[in-house]
A and B are shown apart, each in its own frame.
Chain A
Amino acid sequence: MNHERYIRQTILDGFGSEAQRKLSLAKVLVVGAGGLGVPVLTYLNAMGVGTLGIVDNDVVALTNLQRQVLYSENDIGLPKVVVAIEKLEQQNSETTLIGHTTYLSRENVFDILADYDMVVDASDNFPTRYLINDACVILKKPFVYGALHSFEGQVSVFNYKGGPTYRCIFPTMPQADEVPDCNANGVLGIIPGIIGNFQALEVVKMITGVGEVLSGKLLLFDGLSQNSRKIKFPLIPENLNIKELNPSYDFDCSIEESSISSEAFLNLLQTNTIQVIDVRTPKEFKRVHLEGAHNIPLGIIDESIEKIVFDEPIYMICQSGIRSKKAISKLRKIRPNATFINVNGGMNNLNFQSVGK
């Protein structure tokens, strides 16, 4: 390590050469080399983080250039990972740069994350964000979350030393049409620069131990007013108990419902008032059911729609998760715009000691 190079930060009281040494030993994976990933990578590389991994499968497009400032006009059409590594090598030849030219998936996530100390979620879609959360919880790695909407951004550090996770604040993955992304909604070029730099700062703090890590707090930044506020949120301990990934993280339009794991559903029951429809027979329902659940057997569900509040999300449950899926596909035909969520595994997967009343 060239000590001269980092002297402007090593002379800082409270940082010093020890913090610099920690940076040089750290291995950080950045998922996404777009609006957020570019500032994260650029600053962590400049500051001397020893190993940086980059996951992305996109090519540079003209519409990226207003915010993804690492890329130039003559990079259009080239893979972002390739271009990013080339430019970052020129910026700092001491960094070990590892490209993963792929999208993160259920299949590759454990292999890719394995060698890194921490992850930066610089992705641009909910399936990847929930996949990163669940994989990091299983692997016990912290991750720095950043996300954008128009002129606003959110930042937090999740799963840090047993702290709260993404699911503690947003328990279930939104459906494809609920919340637009930057491509659909637009983003002011500088906002990802600001949010990405906040993320990079949190990485530096975690690695070096300098300052206070943004764990258990969600930072909300509004570029129009320059207001930032921090929302405190607690750990929901069950969210650390994820043992395996969900069967799917895709927005699957062919299966017309989203689903929730039994763990996430239990958390939600404990913290929120939600509409639960139990589609088992009255006999099964009588034997055991969730407090507050409404019993509408699958056989008569399409004649009983007046009992369902379609303006609210509808959590559908049965014994094993199959009949509830059928109920959703029946109701979907009647009310295509309602939000249906299938409870995976049904009553079989729920622990009645904690919820049975």
Chain B
Amino acid sequence: MEVLLFGIAKDIVGKSEIRFSETDELPGSVGDLKRLLTASYPEFGKLSSLAVAVNSEYATDAVFLTKDDEIAIIPPVSGG
């Protein structure tokens, strides 16, 4: 499972992707992944709008995740 980080998410984690290996316990859903991220990086808890895409499609918290999924964490960005 590969999690790509954009915008402030990349800044919070300090890298542009997180890889879960076969042996890691994988988040079962988008909601689980958000909770996992917030537990590891509390600053995620501050973001009120955080879009998540699974395999390039927007995903709600209820969407299930599998080990081959590519996930993108897309916070809003404001700069112009």
Contacts and interface: CB of A to CB of B under 8 A. Distances in A.
A32 B6 contact: no
Interface residues of A, number: 56
Nearest to B44: A311
B80 A230 contact: no
Given A229-B56, A232-B56, A271-B60, A172 B77 contact: no
Contacts of A229: 56, 72
Contact of B77 (A123, A148, A273): A148
Interface string A112-141: 000000000011111001000000000000
A169 B58 contact: yes
Contacts of A123: 80
Nearest to A180: B8
B79 interface: yes
B51 interface: yes
B19 interface: no
A122 B80 contact: yes
B15 to A, nearest CB: 12
B22 interface: no
Contacts of B28: none
A289 B17 CA distance: 40
Contacts of A231: 51, 53, 56-58, 72, 74
A178 B77 contact: no
Contacts of B42: 311
Which residue among B31, B56, B57, B77 has the maximum number of chain A CB atoms within 10 Å of its CB?
B77
Contacts of B47: 174, 178-179, 313, 339
Interface stretch (A3-11, A181-189, A206-214, A316-324): A181-189
A34 to B, nearest CB: 6
Nearest to A310: B45
Contact of A218 (B31, B61, B74): B74
Given A147-B79, A154-B77, A312-B38, A341 B61 contact: no
Nearest to B80: A124
A218 B56 CA distance: 10
A30 to B, nearest CB: 11
A220 B6 contact: yes
Given A178-B48, A231-B72, A124 B60 contact: no
A80 to B, nearest CB: 12
Contacts of B11: 150
B78 interface: yes
Contacts of A179: 7-8, 47, 75-78
Given A218-B74, A272-B61, A146 B49 contact: no
Given A149-B8, A231-B53, A311-B38, A175 B79 contact: no
Contact of B76 (A37, A170, A182, A311): A170
Interface string A53-75: 00000000000000000000000
A34 B78 CA distance: 13
Which residue among A35, A37, A180 has the maximum number of chain B CB atoms within 10 Å of its CB?
A180
A192 interface: yes
A233 interface: yes
Contacts of A124: 78-80
B78 A147 contact: yes
A273 B62 contact: yes
Contacts of A182: 79-80
A149 B7 contact: yes
Contact of A232 (B58, B76, B77): B58
Nearest to A125: B78
Contacts of B51: 169-170, 218, 231, 233
23 contacts: A32-B80, A35-B79, A123-B80, A124-B80, A125-B78, A126-B76, A129-B78, A147-B80, A148-B80, A171-B49, A172-B49, A174-B49, A174-B78, A179-B76, A179-B77, A229-B72, A231-B51, A231-B56, A232-B58, A271-B61, A272-B60, A273-B62, A311-B39
Given A181-B79, A222-B16, A231-B53, 5 more contacts: A35-B80, A152-B10, A154-B74, A173-B48, A225-B16
